Amino acid sequence: MMFWKDFFEQEKQRDYYKKLHAFVEQEYKTKTIFPPYSLILNAFRLTPFEKTKVIIIGQDPYYRKGQAMGLCFSVPPGVDVPPSLVNIFKEIAMEYKENIVQDGDLTYLAEQGVLLLNASLTVEEGKPMSHSSIGYDQLLSHVLYELNKDSRPKVFLLWGGFAKKLKDQITNPCHLILESAHPSPLSAYQGFFGNNHFQKTNAFLKSHGREEIEWIKKHYFEKKKKEDSSAF
């Protein structure tokens, strides 16, 4: 069984990763880089390989101070919810016919097995896509290879043109691929709204004997509280 710790130990031996690591280390020493250094691998830390059930792929971290936290689309509590995440919450609300009032911290999804992965794990302040050509493409390809190879059924949510280009790397028939427009305000009305991806994901997981995702934060914590209180 693959674990992220084992995976990164393997990657550290590869030339591309050595160059990538050296570049990123220097960037953090000389510039303002996001997310905070300790959160670069946050997605992998919060979502162990063996528990990964859903994969959502963004392009790169938020490039303004206080936003990036190592999970795609997610921002820390107290930070204004970004437009794309607002639209993600709108779609969830429409699918489950329930009003959603919650902050933008998606840690609760990561803890349930949703790998919130940015294609580039770092970015320079004020410069979107500034780290998109330093080797992260190879890292992402290797991550997807391991996830695809694993036989436990997973759902890959590919939103927008960039994510859809990764479809060819997901070949294992055990997995489900769901595609749509990006949740950005520029494209959400061109196919993201109404895609029903959250219910489709849960239907697939349930049909394959895997626990469904509580997409609404308050329900997740209510369920967790109930489980904790019944444990003895």
Residue 14, classed as helix, strand or coil, is coil
Distance between CA atoms of residues 44 and 230, nearest Å: 29
Which candidate, 85, 162, 177, 161, places its Cα nearest to that of 120? 162
Q: Which residues contact 225 (CB under 8 A, 6 or more apart)?
A: none
The yes-or-no answer on residue 60 being catalytic is yes
Question: What sign for the dihedral angle of Cα 205, 208, 209, 210?
Answer: negative
- Relative orientation angle of helices 4-11 and 136-149, to the nearest 10 degrees: 140
Sheet with 155-159, edge to edge strand ranges: 114-118, 54-58, 155-159, 176-180
Which is the catalytic residue, given 60, 80, 105, 137? 60
Diameter over CA atoms, the chain:
51
The set of long-range contacts for 179-183, using a CB threshold of 8 Å and a minimum separation of 24, is 182/84, 183/73, 183/84, 183/85, 183/87, 183/88, 183/91, 183/159
Catalytically annotated residues? 60
